[in-house]
């Protein structure tokens, strides 16, 4: 199908974009960044915005910088731009691994990291990453700017802390020290398809024990989140298949899945075990 008619606006600066958004948000105005989720939704007439504010021509919006231990991702950084070639250390390697699960090559050249976060699909790899790492989001409108922690940004199924007139102008992720180990595992029906369950483990190993584990789960509940029960169980323990099983079972007990089907919970448990195995190098 074809998208319904809309008014197109192409601001040349961030200030212009925010002013347009403030004016048009009450009239069903929305931001167009990469468009790789919005345009299909428009083609299917699930989304019918009256105005689109295209931020693709705003100078500086494609900037990606690593400074003082922080990776700063501006609104038009494409999925394809995130990897070992652009981001140092274990975070670069993790982005490259996860990027391979974000749709397909011709989508990755257009879709944006910040757009994925603003869209807040529970199955999004980047939302899982942002919820698991200690990220922060910079939200801006003509009323001013504010910073929101990753944990507070995701508020439910495709729902975020963004007000209609606010734009996600920057995401900040902590760069990971060389000693940090990461593991990611995702179940999906086909390559590039939406995740059915995805888990991310970020931890260190000291003297054979797990230290400061972060364990996140996506695509199971209405939003991605960390799993504190499992993290507490892992802290200070030596990685083993038995420990992974124990942690995954503890996580499962606290989950509120989007569907009643226990299959998704089975996938969640397995994804958690495999992510932990990938991060520690210990078979699950």
Cα 91 to Cα 97: distance, rounded to the nearest angstrom: 10
Does 105 engage in binding with another protein (CB under 8 A)? Answer: yes
Q: Which is nearer to another protein, 190 or 207 (CB)?
A: 190
Q: Which of 16, 19, 23, 39 binds another protein (CB under 8 A)?
A: 39
Decide: 117 and 160 in contact? Cβ < 8 Å: yes
Angle at 82 between CA 76 and CA 87, to 5 degrees: 120
Does 5 engage in binding with another protein (CB under 8 A)? Answer: yes
Enumerate residues 173-212 that contact another protein by CB under 8 A. 190-192
Residue among 117, 115, 119, 151 at smallest CA distance from 134: 151
How many residues sit close enough to another protein to count as binding (CB under 8 A)? 31
Does 282 engage in binding with another protein (CB under 8 A)? Answer: no
Residue among 1, 90, 7 at smallest CA distance from 43: 1
Lookup: tokens for 272: 């958690």
Q: Which range touches another protein (CB under 8 A), out of 22-30, 34-42, 200-208, 258-266?
A: 34-42
Cα 38 to Cα 260: distance, rounded to the nearest angstrom: 28
Cα 253 to Cα 233: distance, rounded to the nearest angstrom: 13
Minimum CB–partner distance for residue 3 and another protein (Å): 5
Does 80 engage in binding with another protein (CB under 8 A)? Answer: yes
Binding stretches for another protein (CB under 8 A): 1-8, 10, 32, 35-36, 39-40, 42-44, 52, 54, 56, 80, 100, 104-107, 109-110, 190-192
């Amino acid at each position: 199908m074809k998208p319904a008619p809309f008014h197109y606006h192409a601001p040349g600066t961030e200030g212009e974009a925010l002013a347009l958004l403030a004016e048009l948000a009450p009239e069903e105005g929305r931001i167009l960044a990469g468009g790789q989720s919005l345009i299909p939704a428009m083609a299917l007439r699930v989304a019918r915005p009256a105005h689109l504010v295209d931020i693709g021509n705003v100078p500086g919006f494609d900037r990606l910088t690593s400074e003082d231990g922080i990776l700063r991702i501006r609104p038009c950084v494409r999925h394809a731009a995130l990897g070992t070639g652009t981001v140092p250390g274990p975070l670069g390697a993790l982005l490259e691994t996860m990027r391979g699960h974000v749709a397909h090559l011709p989508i990755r050249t257009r879709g944006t990291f910040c757009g994925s976060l603003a869209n807040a699909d529970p199955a999004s790899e980047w939302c899982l990453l942002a919820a698991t790492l200690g990220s922060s989001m910079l939200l801006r409108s003509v009323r001013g700017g504010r910073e929101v922690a990753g944990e507070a940004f995701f508020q439910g199924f495709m729902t975020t802390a963004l007000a209609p007139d606010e734009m996600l102008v920057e995401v900040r992720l902590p760069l990971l020290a060389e000693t940090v180990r990461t593991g990611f595992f995702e179940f999906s029906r086909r390559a590039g398809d939406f995740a059915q369950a995805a888990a991310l483990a970020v931890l260190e190993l000291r003297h054979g024990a797990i230290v400061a584990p972060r364990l996140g789960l996506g695509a199971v509940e209405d939003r991605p989140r960390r799993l504190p029960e499992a993290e507490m169980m892992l802290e200070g323990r030596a990685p083993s298949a038995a420990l992974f099983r124990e942690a995954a079972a503890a996580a499962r007990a606290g989950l509120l899945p989007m569907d009643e089907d226990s299959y998704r919970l089975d996938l969640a448990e397995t994804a958690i075990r495999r992510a932990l195995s990938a991060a520690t190098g210990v078979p699950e």
